[in-house]
Structure 1
Amino acid sequence: MDHRYIENELSYLERMLPRFAGGPFPISYWRGRIESLKPPAEVRSQHLRLIGLKKRIREIEAFTNIA
């Protein structure tokens, strides 16, 4: 994948996930978008951000399972 495309997706997901994780799209939609990203190995910052998004989605899932 192109690193600029991934950068744009990461930025979008970092902004939107906290706002819209509870709806109108299901958690599986957001997880699918996150899982589809495959940053190049040499772009470590994108890998770290992707790890952060994966952690955030797990936290949201855990919270919604409790509620």
Structure 2
Amino acid sequence: MEEGPFKTAFESDPTGVLYQEFITYRITKNGMFTKEVVNRTFKKDGDYYDTSSHNPLFDTKPKTEVNK
């Protein structure tokens, strides 16, 4: 990863951080527009747990008479 604000945010000291979220919007190979979310929730003892979700939002391919 090259230098910049994105890299700085990922490498920053997590002291005092309660929650982080990274969101990516992507068009898949089959034309589906998706939202991918990765979360990190920090616990009081300094440990953390991660979760992720991938949600299809809509199909970007034009409708044809066959798939209407």
TM bin, normalised by shorter chain, reads: under 0.3
Report which of the two has the higher share of helix.
1
Q: TM-score, normalised by structure 2?
A: 0.22
Structure of larger gyration radius? 2
Q: Quick one: higher RCO (CA 8 Å, sep 6+), 1 or 2?
A: 1
